[in-house]
Amino acid sequence: MKRGLGKGLDSIIPNKQGTIEQKQEKKGGEKTEKLAGRSYETLVDISEIEPNGKQPRKKFDEDALTELSESIRQVGIIQPLILQKKEDHYEIIAGERRFRAAKLAGIKKIPAMIREYSPQQVLEIALIENIQREDLNPIEEAQAYQRLIKEFKLKQDEVAEKVAKSRSAVTNSLRLLKLSKKVQEMLMEEMISSGHARALLAVDNAEQQYLLAMRVFDEKLSVREVEKIIRALGQKKEEKPEEPLKNEIIYKDLEEQMKQLLGTKVSIRRKNENQGKIEIEYYSEEELDRILSYLRK
């Protein structure tokens, strides 16, 4: 089931039924529908169109593009692209997938709606369109939310409202950016699922997180199995190495002095800074008598 459009998109893209002035102009056999204000729909030469370098979506399924290009060859582009005019070209606001497929299909002119947008509106439209079509991978989606928050000073609840999602959904999405870069790549490549990724957030060590993610991929572990492994890791308390006692060198020197005095091996066993025991070794009754005589003096 497709998700509905965010509220922000309806306010950014005019409703054609209410805003189109039925002015049809023939220019070289082409029809142009003019929109009230700064918007209009027309056919644009595909060579004059360039993708938006800041659009949220970075990865495109080549097989899916080929299928879409075949469909375009047969029935054409049904839904116009959304573009804005730059100095010497048009920039894609929404519809890059259709643009790529049209190029594959050898289409020369593309139907498009031309309009001016603010940088924030450009990102919102591209984000909402991709979310509606479920085209973004989880990391691309999270990065787009982060851009809206950082670049345009939006709060998480404001972002949630614009994309028609709950605030918790946006928060959970943003948490994925705390994963190590290697694990983020695995999520983008669909080697692990979002459920696996959220479970791995409980592992603080980046290398351990990556190794566990690789185990998920290799062993086809379920999310529940991953959570069980992580709980087991948490229960294993690492043995803390004993802190070296202070003045260790001084006590070694005392051992050496006593060895010289008694003529045998002496060990000082310390329990803490103030307590311990002294061990004096002897190897015959005669040596024991000698040591005792020395101590009596």
pLDDT digits (tens, 9 = 90+) for 175-217: 999 999 999 999 999 999 999 999 999 999 999 999 999 999 9
Domain boundaries, the chain: 7-136, 190-235, 248-296
Residue length of the chain = 297
- CA 239-241-244 angle, to 5 degrees, is 160
Cα 29 to its chain centre, rounded Å, is 49
Instruction: Say what the pLDDT of residue 48 is.
Output: 92
Q: Rounded to whole angstroms, what are the CA distances from 54 to 57, 61, 187, 276, 295?
A: 9, 19, 21, 68, 86
Instruction: Say what the pLDDT of residue 279 is.
Output: 85
Listed residue (128, 123, 126, 107) closest to 43, CA to CA: 107
36: helix, strand or coil: coil
pTM, two decimals, is: 0.54
**Which run of H or E residues covers position 286?**
helix 285-296
Do residues 184 and 177 make contact, with C-beta atoms less than 8 angstroms apart?
A: yes
Mean pLDDT of 250-263: 80
The one-character DSSP state at 220 is T
Instruction: Say what the pLDDT of residue 166 is.
Output: 92
Look-up of token digits 């070209």: 89
| Higher pLDDT, residue 98 or 248 | 98
pLDDT tens readout for residues 214-238: 999 999 999 999 999 998 887 764 5
Do residues 141 and 173 make contact, with C-beta atoms less than 8 angstroms apart?
A: yes
Q: What is the spatial distance between Cα 68 and Cα 71, in angstroms, rounded to a whole number?
A: 5
33 part of the active site: no
pLDDT tens readout for residues 13-67: 444 433 333 333 333 334 333 333 367 788 999 999 988 776 666 677 788 888 8
CA dihedral in degrees (265, 271, 273, 276; nearest 10)? -50
Instruction: Say what the pLDDT of residue 24 is.
Output: 34
Of the residues 96, 124, 140, 141, only one is catalytic, namely 96
Instruction: Say what the pLDDT of residue 247 is.
Output: 66
Instruction: Say what the pLDDT of residue 282 is.
Output: 79
Instruction: Say what the pLDDT of residue 246 is.
Output: 54
155: which residues sit within 8 A by CB, 6+ positions away? 149
Mean pLDDT of 103-130: 83
The fold of 7-136 is 3.90.1530
Most confident by average pLDDT, 79-83, 245-249, 263-267: 79-83
Listed residue (148, 62, 137, 132) closest to 95, CA to CA: 132
Q: Which of 142-146, 185-189, 271-275, 289-293 has the lowest mean pLDDT?
A: 271-275
